[in-house]
């Protein structure tokens, strides 16, 4: 199949990288073979509960996510993948009566440790949601909103941040002459890339994406996927997706969740061509889900 061939080519390239000499260990993480890259997210015995503890949504999750990689969370609806994603930057704190135990470490620091600056955490760990949610203001002001709140008021500095962020989001050429126009006038795909630019403007180290293309047409989806592949050179990306084809196209690693449990987490190639767990094979072959 075409998808399998694409996976084979991608993994072949990855495996070629891993044959590089030991001198490469001194390179930046994005230039290192995947297995040598440091862990930037470490999940240890993590459990998550709704309704004050009466409904458990995640069960004893353990996994590591490496720097400058794309990790896809897959699984049927209600399996816990979005719950875990939103736990990484504590977006679930906005839900009433939740409880957690275990640890999620970002750059070796437990995000649930008492005294954690959640605002700072969400600056370092940006979020892109399922549905594009531009603010009802100009394109420029959407991107400048976060930096202004951080105290950056110099016009030249803001101009540079806006331009850089829009370029990284592959949107600058589309909007550079219309920065004062309302963001609500953009197409759905452009709005989603604007939301990515808005997250980038905060200078995060990690980007979380919760089904970022589910509301987009195929062409807009392709543009976002191409963008993800470029962005991983600067950011660590975790993406929740219902599309297994998308996971094969954009991710280095895939994690399969079922009923709140992490069933399998491995290289995307291995997950889709030689899974270790029968439940994983049943899901990716379409027997359920």
Residue 80 to residue 210: CA distance in whole angstroms? 12
pLDDT over threshold 60, residue 68: yes
Q: Over the stretch 101-143, which tens digit does the pLDDT of each residue have?
A: 999 999 999 999 999 999 999 999 999 999 999 999 999 999 9
Residue 31 per-residue DSSP state: G
Query: In terms of CATH architecture, what is 40-135+205-285?
Result: 3-Layer(aba) Sandwich (3.40)
Q: Let me know: does 52 contact 97? Beta carbons within 8 Å.
A: yes
Residue 245 to residue 74: CA distance in whole angstroms? 11
Q: Let me know: does 199 contact 207? Beta carbons within 8 Å.
A: yes
Average pLDDT value for the chain? 91
Q: Over the stretch 159-183, which tens digit does the pLDDT of each residue have?
A: 999 999 999 999 999 999 999 999 9
Q: Output the pLDDT for position 3.
A: 45
pLDDT over threshold 60, residue 14: no
Report domain extents, the chain. Answer: 40-135+205-285
Q: Which of 22-36, 110-124, 141-155, 248-262 has the lowest mean pLDDT?
A: 22-36
pLDDT over threshold 60, residue 15: no
Pairing of strands 39-50, 55-66: antiparallel
Q: What is the mean pLDDT of residues 65-80?
A: 97
């Amino acid at each position: 199949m075409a998808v399998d061939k694409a996976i084979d080519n991608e993994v072949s390239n990855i495996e070629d990288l891993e044959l590089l000499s030991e001198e490469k260990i001194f390179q930046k993480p994005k230039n290192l073979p995947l297995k040598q890259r440091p862990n930037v997210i470490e999940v240890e015995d993590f459990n998550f509960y709704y309704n004050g503890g009466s409904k458990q949504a995640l069960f004893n999750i353990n996994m590591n996510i490496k720097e400058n990689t794309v990790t896809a969370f897959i699984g049927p609806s209600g399996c816990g993948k979005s719950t875990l994603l939103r736990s990484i930057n504590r977006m679930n704190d906005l839900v009433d009566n939740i409880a957690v135990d275990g640890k999620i470490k970002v750059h070796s620091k437990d995000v649930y440790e008492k005294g954690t600056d959640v605002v700072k955490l969400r600056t370092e760990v940006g979020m892109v949601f399922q549905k594009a949610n531009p603010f009802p203001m100009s394109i420029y002001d959407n991107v400048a909103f976060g930096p202004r709140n951080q105290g950056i008021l110099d016009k030249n500095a803001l101009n540079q941040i806006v331009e850089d962020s829009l370029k990284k989001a592959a949107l600058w050429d589309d909007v550079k002459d219309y920065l004062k126009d309302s963001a609500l006038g953009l197409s759905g795909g452009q709005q989603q890339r604007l939301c990515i630019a808005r997250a980038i403007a905060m200078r995060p180290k990690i980007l979380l994406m919760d089904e970022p293309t589910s509301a987009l047409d195929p062409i807009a989806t392709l543009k976002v996927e191409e963008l993800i592949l470029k962005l991983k050179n600067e950011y660590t990306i975790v993406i929740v997706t219902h599309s297994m084809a998308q996971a094969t196209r954009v991710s280095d690693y895939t994690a399969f969740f079922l009923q709140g449990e992490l069933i399998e987490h491995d290289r995307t190639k291995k997950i889709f061509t030689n899974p270790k767990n029968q439940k994983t094979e049943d899901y990716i072959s379409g027997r359920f889900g």
